[in-house]
Amino acid sequence: MSVAYQVVGKPMPRTDSRGKVLGQAVYADDLSLPRMLFVKVLRSPHPHARIRGIKTSAAKKQPGIVAVLTAKDIPGENSIGPIIKDQQILCADLVHYAGDAVALVAGETEQAAETALERIEVDYEELPALLDPLKALEPGAQVVHEGGNVGTHVKIRRGDIEAGFREAAAVVEGRFITPRVEHAYIEPEVAVAAVDAQGEVGVWSSTQYAHLDREEVSRMLGLPQSRVRVRQMVTGGGFGGKLNPHAQCYAALVAWKTGRPAKVHYHRDESLIASYKAHPYVIDMKLGATAEGKLSAIDARLVGNTGAYLFQGRAVITKSGTHVSGVYYIPNIKTDAYAVYTNTVPCGAMRGYGVPQVTFALEALIDELAGKLGLDPLELRMRNALDTTLPNATGQIMPASIPVKEMLTRAKASVESMRPLLNEAPPGRKRGIGIGCSSRGIGSIRRASRSTAIVSLHPDGSATVACGHVDLGQGSDTMMAQVAAEELGLDVDRIRVITNDTAISPDCESTSASRVTYLSGNAVRFAAAKVKARVHDLAAREFGCAADEVKIRNGAVAYREQGLSLAALFGKHIMHIITEVAENLPATTPPDPETGQGNPAGTYNFNVHVALVEVDEGTGKVEALKYLAMGDVGKMLNPMVVEGQMQGGMMMGMGFAMSEEVKIDRGVANSSFGTYLIPTFCDVPRELIVDVIEDPEPTGPFGAKGFSEGSLDPVGATMANAVSNAIGIRVTQLPMTGERIHQLLRRRGET
């Protein structure tokens, strides 16, 4: 029986929409404080070198220069990193990629700082650079960091892999390559810092995790975290790329050393060179199935190039390994996944977080296997799809909210509607249909995820919600307001959500891993429920009834014909406010380090996409004619947010599939949107359909779970399968640029 909600499930504009549309939203770069200095970062031009000396005297003599700082000026710890602290904030002895920070210049104007930057003389001893992750794994390879070139090795082991392949009637295998991808947020990295009269360091930044900013800044300055306050400004996109506070550290260091406010603002070319990327992968995968079309075994080696530093590489490669079987039950699994160091731009968290890469390889082999078995690709997927009785790659059986088979049934209808269009391609063009499926664990995989919320109910019937996730434009503040409003019986406009201030909001871990709706949403609901319970108890005493007979509605409590304002109720009990705190820690078990088996996620999100494409055989250009993106959301909290996020995620996936690739030339990343091509509105499929599947998750807030990130996961696989079907040759490398498809077509013609 469906539940009738007052607020949840209703389409509502995002709470930040008005300010953004009217140009009133305040971003970090909009801040200008009295006597503020402008900070520029000197970066290494070499992918690997020893610093033999730095001369700053000429830079310090430049007009308008207040400070030139190097590693020796850092009062605390000169290290940074979300998992291990393997990167120096300012390099003291070695640089490990072209873009490593070496020195800071603080000037009265941005131009003065840029001019002085050119006057710093660094004596580099160039060292051999290791750029290829496969060569990094070879015996005797030079070492990027002490301890070896493997940052992480993740194992997944289940069943008997050799027996699984022996019983297979068909086996397919291949090597698949995915690109290094830039986040391409519209707002580059920005941070402003200032020190007040009490010695508290304030930081205003474009960030995805204000509490991590506080932790890293305090470590660098040698201060207690209580003396650092970070406020997240309106943020112009993040997608995982604003989880690590480099700019924040630079601004805070200058402010601390000079006593003046300081601003760091990366220009686009600097952001492209210096910021971490999505991991490029080389995947070797082998898949087998029985004559009945039952998958029997998968053997995979995943090599993720984590670049010069680990960042989130350990967690990303774990995500990939634990999702190697996708939406399917495969009894016998052997997977080795490696995060490998090279002297290239570091890689870290990005929307998708290791799932799009492994999905591309798996879904390609599913299509190949179907062909060998003489089965329709959809039928093979249906025969092996997970349900509430079958375990995924980690052995986890989800008891509810696994609508994969329903989604495949809908996909079948979509495919049938597209089939007549295959024969309508103009001369010189070919059309093909592709399908791609993906699963995604919600929250952290390597360890348990936690979120905390504080909800306060005021006498006038309004409420404040404090929760430490941040809204990057995904609409999470709006959905948190809806959750609190539904639980408390208030209108949404009476809820104030505060998420962006470390002095007010509790640490809810990072805004990443599809975790905010599921984890923070529950924390908000639990705290609001505790507030409601206290109000019900107080009112029940006044009315002489049971607590569950009391109703709250917009500033008043009622029982049958009796009513009382919250202000009057609070006054009778000498109360000014009711505040409750709640934590949400889903029951999970991290994967075993030797087998990868465990229950690492509280719930999973599933996606099934279908594409109809047209390929120009003369140029290799690919156009998406029709695209269906089906997403599993548990329960929609806000349909407007869901549709917008699914469209955006699909188009980000289109960039990964068709055009985006950070290329490394002699160790240096390309640094221009003239050569790094992101999709525009011209690349949107002619017909884009978003289909939302609601199958409520019992452990989620009102049945909801994370969905936005997963909308990207199967796009590369879906488009590659469609293009492969159109041209009759398997695509094994992304992105599918016109040049690459043209080469495949030439190869087909030569055979």
Q: At what angle do helices 355-373 and 313-322 cross, to 10 degrees?
A: 20
Give the burial class of 93: count Cβ atoms within 10 A of its Cβ; 0-12 exposed, 13-18 middle, 19 or more buried: exposed
Q: Which residues contact 69 (CB under 8 A, 6 or more apart)?
A: 90, 103, 104, 106, 253, 254, 257
Average pLDDT over the chain reads 95
pLDDT tens track for 550-596: 998 878 999 999 999 999 999 988 888 999 999 988 889 999 999 99
In this prediction, residue 2 has a pLDDT band, given cuts at 50, 70 and 90, of low
- Report d(CA 26, CA 6) in Å as an integer: 32
Q: Which domains does the chain have, with CATH numbers?
A: 17-24+449-584 (3.30.365.10), 31-127+189-265 (3.90.1170.50), 281-445+591-750 (3.30.365.10)
Three-state secondary-structure class, residue 471: coil
pLDDT recorded at residue 511: 79
Give the burial class of 31: count Cβ atoms within 10 A of its Cβ; 0-12 exposed, 13-18 middle, 19 or more buried: middle
Three-state secondary-structure class, residue 545: coil
In this prediction, residue 751 has a pLDDT band, given cuts at 50, 70 and 90, of low
pLDDT recorded at residue 15: 86
User: Residue range 458-474: average pLDDT?
Assistant: 91
pLDDT recorded at residue 269: 94
User: Residue range 72-76: average pLDDT?
Assistant: 98
- Report d(CA 349, CA 310) in Å as an integer: 11
- Among candidate residues 333, 370, 389, the one with its CA nearest the CA of residue 164: 333
Q: Is the pLDDT of residue 113 over 70?
A: yes
pLDDT recorded at residue 576: 83
User: Residue range 89-111: average pLDDT?
Assistant: 98
In this prediction, residue 748 has a pLDDT band, given cuts at 50, 70 and 90, of confident
- Report d(CA 329, CA 402) in Å as an integer: 13
pLDDT tens track for 176-235: 999 999 999 999 999 999 999 999 999 999 999 999 999 999 999 999 999 999 999 999
Contact 182, 349 (CB under 8 A): no
In this prediction, residue 444 has a pLDDT band, given cuts at 50, 70 and 90, of confident
Q: Is the pLDDT of residue 1 over 60?
A: no
Residue bearing tokens 């350990």? 314
In the chain, % of residues over pLDDT 70: 100
Contact 133, 347 (CB under 8 A): no
pLDDT tens track for 529-547: 999 999 999 999 999 999 9
pLDDT tens track for 696-747: 999 999 999 999 999 999 999 999 999 999 999 999 999 999 999 999 999 8
In this prediction, residue 264 has a pLDDT band, given cuts at 50, 70 and 90, of very high
- How many alpha carbons fall within 13 Å on the CB side of residue 690? 23
Q: Is the pLDDT of residue 629 over 80?
A: yes
pLDDT recorded at residue 192: 98
In the chain, % of residues over pLDDT 90: 91
Name the residue with higher pLDDT: 105 or 585.
105
